[in-house]
Amino acid sequence: MSQSNDRLLHIADTLEHINDELISLSIDTERYAMALQAVKTDDPVSQGVIQAVIDALSNDSFFAADASAHMDRVLSMPEMEVTRYE
pLDDT of 9: 84
Per DSSP (E only), the strands in the chain are none
Please report how many Cα atoms fall inside a 13 Å half-sphere around the Cα of residue 76, on the Cβ side.
7
Residue 42 DSSP label = S
- Domain residue limits, the chain: 2-75
Instruction: Answer yes or no: are the C-beta atoms of 75 and 19 closer than 8 Å.
Output: yes
pLDDT for 6: 82
Question: Could you report the per-residue pLDDT of 10-55, keeping only the tens digit for each?
Answer: 888 999 999 999 999 999 999 999 999 999 999 999 999 999 999 9
